[in-house]
Amino acid sequence: MTDQTTTPAPAFLGVETSLTGRRWVGPGIEAVRASEALSQQTNLPMAVCQVLARRGVEASEAAIFLAPALRDLLPDPRSLRDMETAATRFLLAVKSRQRIAVFADYDVDGGSSAALLLVWLRQMGRDATLYIPDRIDEGYGPNNEAMAELAANHDLIICVDCGTLSHDPIAAAKGADVIVLDHHLGGETLPDCLAVVNPNRQDEDGALAHLCAAAVVFLMLVEAGRQLREDQVKGPDLMAMLDLVALATVADVAPLIGVNRAFVRQGLKVMARRARVGISALSDIARMDTAPAAYHLGFMLGPRINAGGRVGKADLGARLLATDDPHEAAALSERLDALNTERREVENAVRAAALAQAEDRGTDGALVWAAGKGWHPGVVGIVAARLKEATGRPAVVIGLDDGIGKGSGRSVTGIDLGACIQKLSTQGVLIKGGGHKMAAGLTVQEDKLEEAMAQLTALLEKQGAHLLGPSDLRLDGMLMPGAASVELTEAVESAGPFGAGASAPRYVFADMRIFSARRVGETHIKVSFGDGHSPRLDAICFGAFDSALGPALEAHGGAHFHLAGRLDINTWRGRQTVQLRLEDAARA
């Protein structure tokens, strides 16, 4: 009798358990053959072909993939339900000089969405009222009081990055028309308003489900531009606004596939021109001294813009992105940078307490969760992401105050957390809840917390979340230090941008000697390494001391390690060098 059991491929370099607890997995034989075939057919570097092969790109498609044109990838806005109605009503308000209010979420996507509308309107000689709810006092999304007040003083209210589940608040907006431009998961019924444009409505086909809210707003402005041209009216330059769409796409962790790739590629080019004073001021205060890349949007600009909604005044980020006053931009950037420092301090305290609580409760089930009195609602989402990364499980972190818990969850690939939370909200187990597959928010009564988490765990078990093992680290191949050139790194970047749904290639530098390792800040480490033949390379590992990685490298004693990570170009005083963004290591 033949044994049909599939034997897993040997661990790459024999690393079954790395310093971060992961098993290393190299490219399969089919991927290697596909890369070699692509290289022969296109004459592109093997490193680029490895990325193309992993993304399923054929040789005939390689040139288009490496230079994605927005005109080729942009969907017809009218393919989304209610889009034509929304754009027509928006233009009526503009032409008739009606009073317009923009109600936005307090994160980067909401701020970018609001800024798109405010900038577009300003260029058309119009203005609008910006309203962003306070995270602590009002919570996420429209509320009855705010919507009723806006409706009393405005003819049109546009809800961006929120509103799809806001039936009662939208009903409270009596006397005003309401348009929703959103991307969060829709329920079985939609609020009673003029238009709900959302690729994640249940009656959409899902072809554009990967769009963030700013992309939906952009498509509405594309449709508005088409209608203006039919009336022989010239509208604003939408291509110049793609920096806002790119920022939102990356910061909201939207997958970099399809048109999202083109949005980010083109948006980064726009951002490099430094025409938007708010983004330029924030880039300067964040000490960005190189051309912007997706990494900068997600890890340098995004957290600072988010800081206003997390621990400061909710509208600071949107105001920064929309302003055309350099002095206001400088002041807002300084304020957001200070708030981001404050946010990190608050986050560190909550993270330590949440991790200890989660470990006491157990981290091998379908859900890892923690809740605490006084935990700041502005950092629970970040802490949930840290718990998810540490455990490889969906995680929920909840702050308790006056008998009510407000929390955020983050999921892992293949597990739809948002649908589970929305189901519990529909059933009344939660006061409210919703979101995406990978991220969601919830509100729960404290006396129902244990029951709600038990039911959420049961729903996640049905998806197999409790069967997940330690996450593998997928690697694209090995490099020697001498091969890690600026030219190679630039060639690989041509297959980007890299981010959610399109991970950057990871390479291993095998059997490297550590020459020096020094702590940078509280949790990072900088390493110099080499093979003794080629020039040494530098590596930076962020958050290294959150695992065994940092301590092991700091106490290297000249030992040899396998080092895994992604290549970056570091620019210092006009000189470019390659740097490894270290993600993992194993003793050689």
Mean pLDDT of the chain: 93
Residue 167 has φ and ψ, to the nearest 5°, of -60, -55
Locate 578 and state its tokens.
Answer: 């390659």
Place of tokens 């948002």: 418
Model pLDDT, residue 469? 67
Tell me the pairing of strands 560-572 and 507-520.
Answer: antiparallel
Q: Is the pLDDT of residue 2 over 90?
A: no
Model pLDDT, residue 500? 80
Candidates 214, 223, 260; CA nearest to 116 is 214
Locate 175 and state its tokens.
Answer: 């006397």
Q: Is the pLDDT of residue 41 over 60?
A: yes
Cβ atoms of 452 and 444 within 8 Å: the answer is yes
Candidates 281, 297, 294, 378; CA nearest to 337 is 281
Q: At what angle do helices 213-230 and 242-251 cross, to 10 degrees?
A: 160
Average pLDDT (255-270) is: 95
Q: Is the pLDDT of residue 204 over 90?
A: yes
Q: Is the pLDDT of residue 315 over 60?
A: yes
Could you read off the pLDDT of 476-508 as tens digits, one per residue? Answer: 989 999 999 999 999 999 898 988 888 889 999
More confident residue, 74 or 291: 74
More confident residue, 99 or 27: 99
Q: Is the pLDDT of residue 253 over 90?
A: no
Could you say which DSSP state residue 218 is in?
H
Q: Is the pLDDT of residue 400 over 80?
A: yes
Average pLDDT (510-522) is: 93
Residue 75 to residues 45, 78, 158, 166, 243, Cα–Cα distance (Å): 31, 8, 22, 27, 19
Ramachandran category for residue 467: left, alpha or beta (phi over 0 → left; psi -120 to 50 → alpha): alpha
Could you read off the pLDDT of 145-181 as tens digits, one per residue? Answer: 999 999 999 999 999 999 999 999 999 999 999 999 9
Return d(Cα 296, Cα 396) in angstroms, integer.
27
Q: Is the pLDDT of residue 1 over 80?
A: no
Model pLDDT, residue 338? 96
The segment with the largest mean pLDDT, out of 1-10, 22-31, 215-224, 567-576, is 215-224
More confident residue, 439 or 445: 445
Q: Is the pLDDT of residue 4 over 50?
A: no
Per-residue confidence band for 570, with pLDDT thresholds at 50, 70 and 90 = confident
Q: Is the pLDDT of residue 210 over 80?
A: yes
Q: Is the pLDDT of residue 324 over 60?
A: yes
The share of the chain scoring above pLDDT 70, in percent, equals 98
CA geometry: angle 255, 259, 263, nearest 5 deg = 85
Model pLDDT, residue 5? 44
More confident residue, 518 or 253: 518
More confident residue, 371 or 45: 371
3-state secondary structure (DSSP) of residue 405: strand
Average pLDDT (528-532) is: 93
Q: Is the pLDDT of residue 3 over 60?
A: no
Rounded to two decimals, the pTM is 0.88
More confident residue, 290 or 486: 486
Return d(Cα 355, Cα 368) in angstroms, integer.
9
Model pLDDT, residue 7? 56
DSSP characters over 534-567: SPPEEEEETTGGGSSHHHHHHT-TT-EEEEEEEE
Report all structural domains of the chain as residue ranges with CATH numbers, in order of start. Answer: 80-337 (3.90.1640.30), 362-467 (3.10.310.30), 475-587 (2.40.50.460)
Average pLDDT (405-434) is: 93
Cβ neighbours of residue 460 closer than 8 Å, sequence gap 6 or more: 366, 367, 394, 415, 417, 420, 466
